Amino acid sequence: MLNLFGRYSDAFKSKEKINFWRDAVENFEQKKYFDSFRSFVNYASDNETKNIILKDNGDSLDIEFFQGTKLIRANIYKDHVIAESDIAIFTKPGVAFMRRLMELNYSLYYTRYSLKDNLIILKFDSSILDCPPSKFYYAVKELAVNADKQDDILIKDFSLLQSINEVDTIAIPENEKQIRYKYFKKWIDEALKKVSTLNENSYEGGISYLLLSLVYKIDFFLMPEGNIVNQIEKLNSIYFANDNKSFVDKNINLKDEIIKLSNEPENNVLDSFYKTITAFSLLNPTNFTMVLNVINDNHKNVKWYLENKHEDIALSIYEYISGYCLYHYGMVKCVSNLFKLAMVLINYDYYSEITAESGKKYFLEKDKPDAKVIIDEISSIIEDSKEDFPELSFKTESLNFTSLLQLLNSYLKEIQNLNFNV
């Protein structure tokens, strides 16, 4: 049930997948290039979503990577490797968009934007001798991630460009889209209302928690695509940009942009609710120490807000910790699922409504945490990771189920004690 929410992550592969990577490296070193790319596909592909398709022609390989609304086509020949994706159609050359493409090329390491007939394409090519698995992985990931992001931005910014739909998206039932939109508006309105009651100088930290936890909540639960997800990325960047602005000013800018997001036409938001298949996660594998740092840096602030009768801000800190880690870090599966469970507990009204017809688990009973159901869920999460981390354990007996805030407090402390020795 927790897998209904959150973005795709390919961080921390299974032992089976890691063995395929080793085969890819060894085959490349032995100059068995086609075998190397075959093993690479076995490593990188997701067995459930079928996000990568290999066509073996004997004397060449054709590989298709699905990344959101974009298709990345890679062709492996005897002497060279080519990968590309169609970004947009242009009706006539334009100085403005061509300048943008040149600027974008400066930020790319492996790939480049090019013109092909009346198409803008993003392309990578290399001799096969110079394309070991590591280079191919990072090159195709750079290509896929940028193709899926920039097509929406370029088409929005330049009227000369038209979209190319190569990949069919997965439709979401209309009633589910309406629920997502309902909470999109509800969450924004609630956060802005709370912020409006706080002094922007005295409560700059609390305002930041309320606004940022909102951003991560929208991304985690509603998972919008297209230009809406690009706006969410912009909201995150506003706050964490190294621009020497005060946190008060950052909060003001963040609030203004959230208001703009809230004013998006309803049909634009509804149209952003669809599912896609993804080959490459935006998140890189993250050491657990970085997760611990986020918990330590923010958990200590809860006490002050509780003592000053701001339980709503205290709860938003717990939501921020979970949401920040899920948005920024590629974590091992069990840590990701533990944070997902925390997000569900904090936003149980949305969880209950969106899963009403799919056999939901009742984590709360009359607004009180249900100890048995929650402990069973935690135990299942830990058990699923025991093969990779035999010493992993979670002391559920240390959890405090008196209230949601007490539970989250004890829950984070136990997450900090997780042992990932192998």
**What's the pTM?**
0.93
pLDDT (mean) for 361-371: 79
pLDDT score of 366: 67
Q: pLDDT class for 362, splitting at 50, 70, 90?
A: confident
- 148-159 pLDDT, tens per residue? 999 999 999 999
pLDDT score of 165: 79
Nearest to 143 by CA among 68, 90, 76, 92: 68
pLDDT (mean) for 178-192: 98
Q: 69 with 82: CB under 8 angstroms?
A: no
Nearest to 87 by CA among 59, 61, 118, 43: 118
User: Would you call 209 helix, strand, or coil by DSSP?
Assistant: helix
- 296-334 pLDDT, tens per residue? 999 999 999 999 999 999 999 999 999 999 999 999 999
Residue 221 scores a pLDDT above 70: yes
Least confident of 26-35, 65-74, 328-337, 385-394: 385-394
pLDDT score of 412: 96
pLDDT score of 339: 97
pLDDT score of 347: 95
Q: Are strands 364-365 and 161-162 parallel, antiparallel or unpaired?
A: unpaired
Distance CA 173, CA 356 (A): 14
- 374-399 pLDDT, tens per residue? 999 999 999 999 888 888 999 999 99
pLDDT score of 209: 98
Q: 278 with 67: CB under 8 angstroms?
A: yes
pLDDT score of 356: 79
CATH class of 2-162: alpha beta
Least confident of 5-14, 119-128, 339-348: 5-14
pLDDT score of 1: 64
Residues forming a β-bridge with 68: 277
Distance CA 257, CA 259 (A): 5
Phi, psi torsion values for 154, nearest 5 degrees: -65, -40
